[in-house]
Amino acid sequence: MKENKSTARPGTPERFESPKLIMHRFSSENFKVAIDKEGHYTLSSTYIIRKNEDGNLETIAAQLNSKVLQYYLKNFVSGNRLSKTPVRELPIASRLDKRLEKEIASLKQKKETKEEKIREFIEWLDSRYEISTNLKKKISNELPCENFSDFLDLLGKNESKISSDYSEFSEHKKVKRGWTEIKEKIEGLNLEIKEINNKSNSIVFDLYDLSEEEVITVLDSLDTEEEIKQGILKKFEELKD
């Protein structure tokens, strides 16, 4: 995406500045769609889907990012370049689904909470140790880190005032306590986000009237991790009860 209008692809301002979906046009593998409500200008390597009167960007994005559409693209769209015709002909369910809208709203809330918790932790670190903007970005991207020593290495490699040895033991205890708390919060939120994604996928499977056997075929075709596969199947079975 481009902030600079002069280097963006041709188009009217309304085309870019209105709410839209953005997708990469060169690959049908690892296909992902992003929602843009901030008016970014895009390059020619992307497609734009603008909101219409009947559409809901979040619901459409959830379908496009689902296992069902990944399976469709893998098996029915040849090559590594999406043409406009296949994009327009993607089998999006026409009816809105309140269940899916509910999960989308919940997912948004969980992600915002996660971002807020990370921001609060970084602000706490910054208030004590005056960390750089670059380090703030690295912490935001790499939290929670596998263990505390990895987190200290991250701080040390980026010239933080927190040394990576234990000479300032009292300070390390404070940092470790803060890191432990944020790690637990992030891991808890990540589990909730995974559950929501599993349920959203199960709802999309249901929207397309797939049987459990067909769901298994789709998930196996995509080499879905066993934990995620079982999570989706569990949610799918619950929908059918």
Q: What DSSP line would sit under 144-209, residue for residue?
A: T-SSHHHHHHHHHHTT-SS-SSSSSHHHHHHHHHHHHHHHHHHHHHHHHHHHHHHHHHHHHHHHTT
Q: What is the pLDDT of residue 166?
A: 46
User: Which among 77, 67, 100 is positioned nearest to 210, based on CA atoms?
Assistant: 67
Buried-state track 136-162, b at ≥16 Cβ within 10 A, e below 16: bebbeeebbbeeeeebbebbeeeebeb
φ/ψ of 239, rounded to 5, equals -65, -30
Axis crossing angle, helix 57-64 with helix 169-207, rounded to the nearest 10: 90
What is the rounded CA–CA span in Å between residue 214 and residue 236?
A: 12
pLDDT per residue of the chain (241 residues) written in tens, 0 to 9: 444 444 345 556 666 777 888 877 665 566 778 888 777 777 777 777 776 545 578 888 888 889 998 898 888 776 666 665 566 677 777 566 788 889 999 999 999 999 999 999 999 988 888 888 988 998 999 888 889 888 888 877 655 556 544 455 677 788 889 999 999 999 999 999 999 999 999 999 998 999 999 999 999 999 999 999 999 999 999 998 7
What is the rounded CA–CA span in Å between residue 160 and residue 157?
A: 8
* Residue that is written with structure tokens 């234990």 in the block: 166
Contact 12, 47 (CB under 8 A): no
Q: Cβ–Cβ contacts within 10 Å for residue 230, how many?
A: 13
Q: What is the pLDDT of residue 14?
A: 67
Strand order in the sheet with 46-50: 33-36, 20-24, 46-50
Q: What is the pLDDT of residue 49?
A: 75
- Per the rule left: phi > 0, alpha: psi between -120 and 50, beta: everything else, 143 is beta
**Tokens standing for residue 166:** 């234990």
Q: What is the pLDDT of residue 58?
A: 80
Q: What is the pLDDT of residue 195?
A: 96
Helix, strand, coil percent values for the chain (each to nearest 5): 60, 5, 30
Q: What is the pLDDT of residue 3?
A: 44
Contact 63, 96 (CB under 8 A): no
Kindly list the domain boundaries of the chain, sorted by start residue.
5-88, 98-240
Q: What is the pLDDT of residue 236?
A: 96
Q: What is the pLDDT of residue 156?
A: 74
CA angle 106, 108, 109 (to 5 degrees): 65
- Residue 214's Cβ-side half-sphere holds a number of Cα atoms within 13 Å equal to 11
Q: What is the pLDDT of residue 182?
A: 95
- Residue 227's Cβ-side half-sphere holds a number of Cα atoms within 13 Å equal to 4
Residues in a beta bridge with 46: 24
